[in-house]
Structure 1
Amino acid sequence: MTTQTTPSVRQARPQPPNVIRVGLSRGALELRQFFRERDAVVFTFSLPVVMLVLLAGIFNDTIPDTGVKASQVFAASMIAAGIMSTTFVSLGTGIAQDREDGTLKRLRGTPTPMTSYFIGKVLMVLVVSFAEVIVLLALGKVMFDLQMPSDAGKWLTFGWVFLLGVIGCALLGIAISSVPRSAKSASAVIMLPFIGLQFVSGVLFNPIKELPSPMVEIGSFFPLKWMAQGFRSVFLPDSMTFQEVAGSWEPGRTALVLVAWCVGGLVLCLLTFRWKNSRQG
């Protein structure tokens, strides 16, 4: 009669990977991949810079009774466009490419938590957006005499507008990445709303209150308008509020709309995100 022996020590199951730690590693990888693509780096950083130089170079008159030049208004507003370029546009096109070349499909077959993939993407655009803002601030200061605030409260406003703007626009970029049917069409599909929003959000057209009411209402629904207004409140004097639709900087409403886009953008991602494109079944 044989007896079956039971191992006294059971083999411990491997622990699942730490989502945050893997996300940080993924973020470092995303940054390396981004900066290796020289054409993507040049396009991402140069688009807001070229737009700023063109607009501020053409419209450089001093606004009556303010001592502020139109170029300084454009410089403050263009910071918001730079952030949207590095978040909404970069993520929308980048994830569409990852979906088509099979990166997302391969990741789902590994122990890597998919949440870590998105953490890595957001960390990447956070770093790139910060670098973009530094470039635009330096350009605004050197070429257009954009005044850096000496008040700590204004820098605090700059910080939360930047952070909420990056998160909200990044989530919007993740959501829109499911719209293009292929990676080839992603740039065209995503650039169209980006350019349109710059006009109706008071970035490429100032003062925003002179836009037709329907356009103002459309722009007010999206985060770009509130980011641009928030940055104008940081770098322009309070005497410039007469150019705003409400006649004030509306910091409370700006924060509320940007927080709403962070929450709503997350919900939108959960509802619309696809791991495969239509041709992959």
Structure 2
Amino acid sequence: MQLIADSGSTKTDWRLIDSKGKISQVKTVGFNPYHQSSEDITERLQKELLPQITAEIETIHFYGAGCFTDLACQTVKDALKNIFPKSKAEVHNDLLAAARALCGHQPGIACIIGTGANSCLYDGNKIMDNIPPLGYIMGDEGSATWLGKQLLNSYFKRWMPKELRPKFEKRFSPSVGDALENVYRQPQANRYLAQFSRFAFHYLKHPWVAKLVYDGFNAFFDKNIVQYTDYQQQPIHFTGGVAFYYANLLRQVANDRGVRVQNILESPIAGLTLFHQGE
């Protein structure tokens, strides 16, 4: 029995593959080793995951947010071994999850545009190059956080179109004081900013909103994709909620730049299941 996990800080999608290839699924809370100890993760796994699994797990493939250092990966691996002591556990970062889900065993450029944004050049086996995303303050172009930041800025600095301002105000009741408090003093400022991006989805038919999303994707291409060697010859794929729900605009940006986007997935878990199913 194989167990595959795609974990963010909020939720984790699990897939189980039995010896006959039958697939079942489980959902739990998310895990992030930057914010949780091995003991914390073990406790959550024991309460939420273990009661849903009756078969013996032989192999675990865990892909998670925050799993970019050996120490972070070991934190998760220790927790998994506490719950499944006889299993072989592998822990990888969410960027490799995207690459394997989107590209399989073929080379290409794999991108994530969700709450944040990231990308890599993948050779069909491992990540060969990665333009650092730099997070919501210095990077994450085109992401929900980036969009939310532009919308808040446009509202407070009055460059949002007049017909959209009352709609934005009615939905969020934003204040400068609240914004400064949540961005500069409270934790998880990226999530606070990302919530405002939903406004763009509801008013995407407005030319100003459509251009804002278009410009975000264009910036993502400029500062990430075009930096990879021979990017025009590489198949380009995306995963993440923003990429998925604004797929038409994303493909338009790519077409305008003369490059071709292939797969766009909301979540990597289905692709990861296919990747590991033959093992």
TM-score tier by shorter-chain length is under 0.3
TM-score, normalised by the number of residues in structure 2 = 0.28
Which structure has the greater CA radius of gyration?
1
TM-score, normalised by the number of residues in structure 1 = 0.28
